[in-house]
Amino acid sequence: MRTHTRGAPTVFLIGLLWTLLTPVGAAAEVDPSGGIPFMGGNYNGHPMLYFNRGDVEQLQYAATGTHRDMAKRIRDAGETMLEHPEMYLPPWSPAEFSARWNEVYGNNLGVMSMFCVLYPHRAGAVDLAKDYMERMAAQPSWLVKDAPWDEVPLAHSLVGFATAYDFLYEYLNKGQQERFLQVIGNASRLMYEKSYVRGWGFQYLHNHQPTNCVALLTGSLVYMTQGYLQEAYLWTKQVLSIMEKSMVLLQDVTDGSLYEGVAYGTYTTRSLFQYMFLVQRHFSISHFDHPWLLKHFAFLYRTILPGFQRTVAIADSNYNWFYGPESQLVFLDRYVLRNGSGNWLADVIHQNRVVEGPGQAGKGQRWCTLHTEFIWYDPELIAKPPPDFGTSQLHYFEDWGVVTYGSALPAATNRTFLSFKSGKLGGRAIFDIVHKNKYKEWIKGWRNFNAGHEHPDQNTFTFAPNGVPFVTEALYGPKYTLLNNALLFSSALAGSCFKPWAGQVTEACDSKWLKYKAGLAADAEGRIEAAMERQGMVFIRGEGQSAYNPELMIRNFQRNLLLLHPQLLLLVDHIHLHPDSPTRAMSAFFHNTELPFQGMKVDGIHGAFASHGEDKYKMFWMDDTGFSSKGVLGYWNYPRGYPYNGSNYVNVTMPLRYPHTRVAYIFFGPSVDVQSFSLRGDDQRVDIYLATKDHIYTIYLLTGELTSKPLFAMVLMDHKKIVFEKAAGAEDRSPAEVEEYVNVMEDNLQHVKPVFQQMERHILGRVLNTANFHKTAERLLQFTDKKKTEEVIENMFAMSKKQGKGKGGKKVNIGETLSESLPDIFAQIEVNEKKARQRTSKRTYEDSPEEGGGAFMEYADGRKNRKGAFVKGRRFKEVHMVATAESESLSSTASYIRLFLLLNTATFFLLLAVLLTRFQRGRSLHTQRCFYTILLIDCFILLYLYSSCSHTQC
């Protein structure tokens, strides 16, 4: 027995040791950085924002190989600007520069500077870029004259100018370097000041916020690299205090959507993805496992109409995307998906781009993301479509309140797109945060959000049979219910935009923006009750009663969509009134932004059609009494100030009866020949009979609140039965508040100071014993008390002269020693700034409670008593940590644990070696057991110390 078991404890212990070490190796395989190298404050001049000087040659090589398609687009943009400089250079005149919305100048400068990086020997390229920057630097302000309250144009100019400064630094002469840096500093300083009083500083998840914050962050990183650490530190902390809150709140958006829609969504992600990249590269803050980010691909993939040229245009929108989305897609693929789907979709979108006409990229935006697309593209990810590509899929965005069907398909016969919208104002996450008082440390109701770009569009839909837009959204226009495919009700209510008709409570009669801040509008919502596909048919139901004024006394406004065939859609509106309702009629609108409608009538049933080439797309309507009123056809002109002229529409008005009225509409394409259409109903349901040349449909639609069968609808097609059961209805489950959300945000803010302290040491180390020492030290201490500054600089200067080598000829890092002799320049300026902001924020809030407010961000470093101790951190090779008594205690504990861990590891291996070499033979079993017991106990101690060490990050 002894012979067979002698080696067993040894094998057991070796196995136990293996399990101890395995998690370390496994953890090393997980890279939360997404492969983005963390700079750790170790910069070697410019460029540094997105790549280093040493990376430039590799980028130029990629431009001739793996990235040649993207490089060609950058080169085409650069050559176009070189050929027609008068069309693209900013004007010298400040009046002309600020006369109109001018984001184009900053947007084009980014790609121009990338063109110079990739093709530095192209004659005239660098000179044009420098001329471009000179013209922008000559402007007294980058704001627009007619909108001085809006920093968005300034943000576009700042991010483009600072990026160009970083990319082209070596091509600028000394005067330009200093002058352009001053311009960046002035613009960044203004943005920083405005971040405390403008909505973008506290209205989260709105497109202005990442746009302006990334501009300020870009400016602050450039300013930091040039040694202006104190101001850059404040700017950076302010950006992160805003954006890290947004990242926490975004965790509540469970479907990857953005409530402002696809077009403005790409405006948001253009900057949001830049933010994620920059904070990982410069501060080791990773968001690549963010739950929203993991779902965001669907927001781009499931919203594209067949043909890949248009998207669902919910909320203020153009025909597709404002920015990108190729840049955003390659970003998602490289840092999140890693499966080739993002690269594939980016390629397909580019191949199908509209060159001229509706849907073409705007001149101010078309080149803006080319440089980030080039930087983020990973050619090792072979372009590959998602597994379900090629088949029509139903997708429900539960937060956005949107259902899509048939997205991202090649344009062809029976490739049909259908969308439906019925959701909470601002999306479920924002609506529930406001109404359930979530994140109350940060959020004070609707003041912290901005739903201005949304539309009064609950229970609206779009339909594109064969990929042809038949019923469309009305794009970026006035916020009227009638400009959406929705209902109005007759009423004498005060405040209606078009008496005697009342639209949804969020519509705005005299404003460009949706009404959402207070009153009935603040509580407006719709609800999707069902979204399902059965045997090629799609059923969707939405409830929109809560979007209308309660004085209308509407009990239910239920809209049902049944896609019976790829070219045949049935829509049924069910309106249930309270007994005392003053509402006597309803008015439905259907829009097409391009194709005009023409009226028609068949067998007493009124309808309309739109012609697309030789094909006609038709619609008819009637109510449950067989009545069909004549529709009003026309074109609604938008007022000046909107990017589109207007929309074609069909307006159908029908009488309402108590208690309920059902109105049915059929929409069909050229391959469907409808021969008969009728409906009748009772309290529980409505029955629709529909005969086409190929099929006979009988639809039983259960509309009652309590039904005899647990069904939404049942369809008999010829001899086939399709059932839509209630058990599969949509559920509304709001996510819980993120645990310890304040600490989550503050933990990420802790990453900033060590980087700036590292910069402080490097800067001092570079200028030792040089003529620039005095000037550099003054720059570092720019906002410190002047008397103390002079005294400290003299002491530092004397120290730099005395110290050269340590004992034994060892070199001393004088930069570190000198930085220790400095006061904590960051803690000092934080305290001063905090006091100043507390005084001004109170005044601002009293003056303008809607736009100002909020006390200055509490910078919770938790390390205010500087002790001058260097510790090795988990993210920094060697960073200067500032410690309170508590964190000093933690540091001390970690040091002891580390010491014991090292000693115990040595003891363990020593005992193991002794056991294997000295005690395998000739020793009693009792002696061996004693050694094994000691070794086992030591192994458990080792496990405990390893666990403690990981918890304290030693």
Query: Mean pLDDT over residues 907-923, rounded?
Result: 67
pLDDT in tens, 222-252: 999 999 999 999 999 999 999 999 999 999 9
Q: DSSP characters for 825-877?
A: HHHHHHHHHHHHHHHHHHHHHHH-TTT---PPP----S--S----EE--SS-S
Mean pLDDT value across residues 199-220: 97
User: What are 889's two structure tokens?
Assistant: 């205690």
> 403: helix, coil or strand?
strand
CA distance 104 to 111: 11
Note the pLDDT tens digit of each residue in 303-323: 999 999 999 999 999 999 999
- Coil, strand or helix at 891: helix
Mean pLDDT over each residue of the chain, to the nearest integer? 87
In the predicted structure, residue 779 carries a pLDDT above the cut 50: yes
| pLDDT exceeds cutoff 50 at 614 | yes
Q: Do residues 433 and 443 make contact, with C-beta atoms less than 8 angstroms apart?
A: yes
105 assigned to active site: no
Query: Out of 204, 476, 548, 932, which one is annotated catalytic?
Result: 476
Catalytic status, residue 405: no
Cis check for the bond before 735: say yes or no (omega within 30 of 0).
no
Quote the pLDDT of residue 948: 63
Mapped to the 3 state alphabet, what secondary structure does 874-890 carry? CCCCCEECCCCHHHHHH
Predicted TM-score of the model (pTM): 0.85
More confident residue, 551 or 819: 551
pLDDT at 802: 55
Q: Which residue has the higher pLDDT, 849 or 614?
A: 614
Catalytic residue (one of 264, 697, 700, 859):
264
- Decide: 507 and 417 in contact? Cβ < 8 Å: no
Catalytic residue among 67, 206, 208, 574: 208
Whether pLDDT at 609 is above 80: yes
- Predicted confidence at residue 771, as pLDDT, reads 62
pLDDT band at 895 (very low <50, low <70, confident <90, very high): low
Structure tokens at 43: 């910069």
Rg (CA), the chain: 33
Indicate if 700 belongs to the active site.
no
Which pLDDT value is given to residue 271?
Answer: 98
Which residues lie closer than 8 Å to 443 by C-beta, 6 or more apart? 433, 434, 437
Burial class (CB in 10 A: 0-12, 13-18, 19+), 355: exposed
The neighbouring-strand residues paired with 461 are 420
Can you tell me the mean pLDDT for 264-283?
Answer: 98
